[in-house]
Structure 1
Amino acid sequence: MNRTTPAALALCAIAALVAPAGAATKGPAAGKTVHVGVIADVTGAAGVYGTPQKNAYELANEDIKSGKIDAGGATLTFDVQDAASDGAQVVNLMQKFITDGSTAIVLGPTLSGEAFKAFPLAARANFPAMGTSTTAEGVTAIGPTIYRDALAESQVIPTTVKRTKDKWHYKTAAIIYGDDNAFTKTDGDIFAREFKAAGVDVVDTETFHQKDTDFQAALTRIEGKKPDVIAIGALFPEATKIIAQAGKLGIKTRMIGGNGLNSPEMYSVAGPAAQGAVVGAAWYSGAKYASNLAFVKSYTAKYGKGPDQFAAQAYAAAQIVAYFVAHGATTKDDMIGALKNVRVIQTVLGPIGFDPNRDVKSSPVILSIVKDGFAYFR
């Protein structure tokens, strides 16, 4: 049963006041044109994350035109450019957007490793950028114009460890993570830190590199230490192989993971071994609040399958920018000022704001992988 606390209801009420849902045809930006640059990995290794982001921005463009998203009468467009999971292309696109003279803010890129290459360009140019799926530690520390509406791993993994330990009562753990990627290294570090804080003995730590395909030797070493739980810090291509190969080896140990496991495609690619793996998330498709129900319904109708967390965070970023535009922000300097002064904005992620470190203020949900996607971890 889903429960809504009085505090949450009050916050929603406040959010409804500051970010009304109805369409507006007049406002400080009425008649103006605002261009938003989007960098997403629509293709390539990270396409499983970037394609839903592209879809979300396409839907947002339609919803602005129809008035479902209020942009105060402005012509607001999200221009999605495919970085193709290529770090050099990410840098080129960021440079293009911050120097073209027409872009007011950049949303993306998809991966944290890409952000560490591209966001310094924006910071040096005093240009606003918002990550929607960049969850590694240190992303917003790149500069005072860098924000994210994605919950950082440091905001999610501690809750994941606490909730699973409280339920499963484990005493030992193993960690397997990628040591050549900012996001996966963050996962490895935070899992190690949180296990130590929880009094869990880490009996084995294994590392790998991006594009590795054979994890059987590492998994065999892990199995030999007989941990109560395995923590996985990996992006989708490697995570699915780790889980699938663990299943083939007959490993029955419970698994938990970081944000890289948040794709609803995990089960269909990794197979039955993914069933029951637990991951912390910023959003759940089954949440029953009205704005989320409407988003899931319209996204599913347009694309033939439901949105994932990456689509929801992208759509929320579109809602945030539209709110700024409806209140008069049309230039990059206006956007910087608007970001600094955010209090609460209602989005498909729920009511959100930003903390002094420019990270999103929100709470994680803990989910289990099931055959058709995710379910609340009980």
Structure 2
Amino acid sequence: MSCEEEHPDSAEKAPLRRLSLTELRRRTSAKWREYPPDVLPLWVAEMDVPLPAPVVRAVTEAVRRGDTGYATGEGYAAALDGFARRRWGWNGVVAERTTVVPDVMQGIVEVLKLVTGPGDTVVVNSPVYPPFYSFVQHMDRRVVEAPLGDGHRIDPASLERAFRRAVAGGRRAAHLLCSPHNPTGTVHTRQELAEVAALANTYGVRVVADEIHAPLVLPGAEFVPYLSVPGAERAFALLSASKAWHLAGLKAAVAVAGPGAAEDLRRIPPEVSHGPSHLGVIAHTAALAHCDDWLDGVLAGLDENRRLLAELVRRRLPGIRHRPPQGTYLAWLDCRTGGLGEDPAAVFLERGRVALTDGAGFGTGGAGHVRLNLATSPEVLTEAVERMAAVLGPA
């Protein structure tokens, strides 16, 4: 049953318009507790939405019957398979080539352990999600950057240089690919991904694709699963319903192996399967299986906010440059000519009471930028930009 069938009112079709600031401030998650109540929080990747009704029902019924034990079974993978076939025309989520993991980053860590060892290199496309650096370095692997090129696109020459450096001396290496890309919102094309696969095969680099934002591709772009491109048979992908359905607090994700990587995936230690939350698996499965229409409402709202932000930046934020994202609910703002110094996020927080994510932590290409979360109401987004405009002075 779809969300719309359970709640036919039009408000269910516009999740980003459902909740007031007063309601949101009752939440106790990181987004709403990190800063004082006079701050508008547009930093961490949480959405200002109510949960879809089938998710609420599935979790509530599980708690009511005491179904709160350990996660098991292939229901999550089956739901992801159905979603991938409906939304992307992809049949690559094959049950015997999947395993449920605690979350995407923990899954990435476990997969990287399969294909690299201590001292080996993991290549990333900077600027990129900061935990890519911290998790990889904590594993005693080296990070080598292959910075994005013009238009925040993958630069094959940069990637080839990084791959060559990574495998020097005969060492193993991996490429941790962020697709769609966080923080820039770039959605990689099939041709770009095929070029990544070709280079990876040439240099013997194993690709691990973080596709957590895959359901959040906006009009004008198309998500291409990395494992669907020629040459990606020995790669892995990590997917989850957490970002697209606001389920980060209900931990679960799926690791998917290409046909040539299935034996590697089977080497993941059994104890990894103890990490996913059983309630998380139940929630994610319900979201993927029953809430396409709710997701469409979110995507419509994000597209509206994307266009609104572009207009507001043009009119109200002189000196700040912005390329509207193709996917995710994140906007990447270049503040280097805005007169805000080395840490524009700190300035907007202190003087404007708007919390954004500092770009410096995203690696090369991040300094002087801020990341802004679009997944809120148009009213909150407008108020945030007005506060930022007041910091910059008259337009």
**Pair in the same fold by TM > 0.5:** no
Q: TM-score range by the shorter chain?
A: under 0.3
Greater RCO structure (CA 8 Å; 6+ sep): 2
What's the TM-score once normalised by structure 2's chain length? 0.24
